Amino acid sequence: MPVDTRELIEAISILANERNVQVTMKQSAKGAMVCAASAFTGGILLGPVGLAIGGTAGGLMAYKMTSGSFRPLADVLLNDLTDDQQERLVQHVNNAVREFQISDLALLLPLLMNNASIQQAVLKTAISFVSNELRCQIID
């Protein structure tokens, strides 16, 4: 009997929570650019002291801009994926665990919770999927 897609997504979410995997929607690059631009501007205007002042001000601005943009992978999997994306993720997971010779997806859930190799394969697949589909950056 095949496992419900939602059940597998929830199992992957539990695994992601246990590993404390976080994602960001490309906010890190934006923050770095703000910080660099502030340091550059401060350096041009005030020299070496301006670099320090501009870097500090830019760091604070980047913090304010990106605050709250880091979310748990589990939250993204459960709330942000469309039904079609969830189906594709389940298919990717199914393909990733074929080397473990699991014939029925229903056997995957108990193994997922107890087998470190399968956990690694499934989590790696989920991270890759979210990175490629949603263009998120993963923070381990």
Query: Model pTM greater than 0.75?
Result: no
Q: What is the pLDDT of residues 5-54, one digit of tens each?
A: 788 888 888 888 888 888 876 666 777 888 899 999 999 999 999 999 99
Cα gap 11→74, rounded to integer Å: 9
Q: Does 97 have pLDDT greater than 60? A: yes
Neighbours of 123 (CB within 10 A): 20
pLDDT tens-digit map of 51-73? 999 999 999 988 888 776 677 88
Q: Report domain extents, the chain.
A: 1-25+71-140, 26-68
Q: State the pLDDT confidence band at 114, using cuts at 50, 70 and 90.
A: confident
Name the average pLDDT for the chain. 82
